[in-house]
Structure 1
Amino acid sequence: MTQPRVTLNDGRCIPQLGFGVWKLTDETAPALVGVALEAGYRSIDTAAAYGNEAGVGRAIAASGLAREDLFVTTKLWNDSHGYDAALRAFDASLGRLGLDEVDLYLVHWPVPRQDATVETWKALMRLREEGRARSIGVSNFTAAQLARLIDETGSTPSVNQIELHPGFQQSALRAFHAETGIVTEAWSPLGQGGALGHPVIAAIAAKHGRSPAQVVLRWHLDLGHVAIPKSATPDRIRENADVFGFHLDADDHARIAGLDAPDGRIGPDPETFG
């Protein structure tokens, strides 16, 4: 699978399609990440909160792939905000992964009640300067929260990983990302499966001779998003990787745009979570 890469604002590049490992365990992650790597994925997205960093690390070690051919993301959990706590949490994640550095380190949630994101972000800036986190970014941040980070530190996140799928398209936030040079990365890009049964998606899939999941992932790629679909089924892992042989047309995109819903969020609200 030869796939496009997206250039980050620090000059590094991220594969446009990655494999998400949310809900996989340390026990199940090695085999399933191994399937993903065999299918051609080269970007793996984990997090301290997932409890599977060690399993992901074992899969990477067993893959036989050169480290420079892989893009590894992990994330800082909500209990480790603050400068010193973030540095300790990063060290712990590296230890579990068995790596000397990660390609992308993200603040998993803004946790506004703690009001510690600026100090937390300064810790990530230090990790980037040390080269142990090659790129740094955030996840689930609103435009206002991003603006505050940028204004108070002078450093713009490379990525904001957000809930994004046909039922919740976040157009205003994506526009802010475009204005500020932040790459949009979609978690739950398939809407946790909810988008796949929609008649519009089914019709577009039939038109292209593709599965509904392939259509939704192609929609993300056409819009320039990075997408990290998660599956625990080997056949679906392979199917989700096979999205580089077709494109959607303007009519397809217009029909999918019509699926956006203001109440389409399925995950937590960043303004209150944590």
Structure 2
Amino acid sequence: MTTKTAIVTGAARGIGLATARLLLSQGWQVALIDLDAETLAEAALPLQGVLAVPCDISDEAQVAAMTARVAAWAGRIDGLVNNAGVADFRPLEQTDLATWRRIMATNLDGVFLTSQAVIPHLKRTRGAIVNIASISGLRASTLRVAYGTSKAAVIHLTRQQAVELGEHGIRANCVAPGPVDTKLALAVHSPAIRAAYHDAIALNRYGTEAEIAEAIAFLLSDRASYITGQVLAADGGFEAAGVGLPALRQGR
């Protein structure tokens, strides 16, 4: 019961699983949370020091049951990584209310519900929350009205958490990943799209899941003990680059 314990949502694959593996290597216990029970079980099978709990984070009752199960297993909760999310890419005029609500239910309501459930435990450990937003929450883009808006809301929710929970020693920060080489990105980004992203990113490449995990683990750790209410764009300089970078490169 002295080993630090983190809850990572959306942990069956991608950034969530990479974060769980990194935290395990740093001596944490990790509760892996995901809606996809089958993939979650496969991901957890080779790992030591984990608890896999299928959970729909948009369901308040399931979140309460999950939190109680993790607390009973570990005896403490020191960190929460709100990584679970869903995406939708369609024009504003074609985004129906059902789609909007589905995106908000996971990407925003889920962060709210999971954080709220874990707060009493984090007060005892003076723990930390790391919410995963997106560069789409910092800069607008086509076809992302529901997704981008949900992630912008997560950024503001993070600041609310930091301000309200700081007196209890709880820190809340946000990581906003830019383009990352996930299986989803590899499946939906054509060579032309990838080339366009490369041209707009200062580092001229996509990030990796492991690189985003490093940012998350840092903000969760005691090394970030005086950092709260911040948004870290782990994006290779995508937000900073603005316009004109491709032309400058070609001119060079």
TM above 0.5, one fold? no
**Where on the TM-score scale, by shorter chain, does this alignment land: which range?**
0.3 to 0.5
Q: Which structure has the highest helix share of the two?
A: 2
- TM-score when normalising by structure 2: 0.39
- TM-score when normalising by structure 1: 0.37
